[in-house]
Amino acid sequence: MSRVVTGAGYGLTDWLAQRITATIMAVYSIIALVVILSGLPITYAVWKDLFSQGWMRVATLLFMASLAWHAWVGVRDILMDYIKPDGLRLTLQVCTLLTIAAYLGWTIQILWR
């Protein structure tokens, strides 16, 4: 059997990962919404204190890790659908991966400063 190289996995993993990571991000969004709508005036002290809590750092990192995986599957699907030349598509996929790695690294830097 000959396969067209698309850069994708061929299993259930991505499909499942897309849904699990989405759920994790949805839960984090609800927490964020509660904080925003709690009526607490968001000053620098409150903001800084929130992001120095251990649970908030871990939750935010978990959110970003989920986003990284979720965005990779999503962006790759878009590239596979619309970018037909193999070379260009693979280049863009590598760029996407590098961007995701940079986003993750930056997030860790912001959280554990």
Partner 1 sequence: MSPAAAKKVRPKYLSLQALIFQIRLPLPGWVSILHRISGALLFVSLVWLLWMLDRSLSSEAAFERIRHYASLWPVKLALLVLIWAYSHHVCAGIRHLFLDLDKGIDLKTARLTSVMVFVVSLGFTAFLGWKLW
Restricted to residues 55-94, the positions that interact with partner 1 (CB under 8 A) are 67, 71, 74-75, 78
Query: 66 near 25, Cβ under 8 Å?
Result: yes
- Closer residue to partner 1, CB minimum distance, 6 or 18: 18
Interface with partner 1 (CB under 8 A), residue total 21
**Cα gap 50→57, rounded to integer Å:** 9
CB of 2 to partner 1, least distance (A): 25
CB of 87 to partner 1, least distance (A): 21
- The full DSSP string for 23-68 is HHHHHHHHHHHHHHHT-----HHHHHHHTTSHHHHHHHHHHHHHHH
For 88, the enclosing helix (H) or strand (E) is helix 86-111
**Interface residues with partner 1 (CB under 8 A)?**
19, 22, 26, 29, 36-37, 44, 47-48, 51, 67, 71, 74-75, 78, 103, 106-107, 109-110, 113
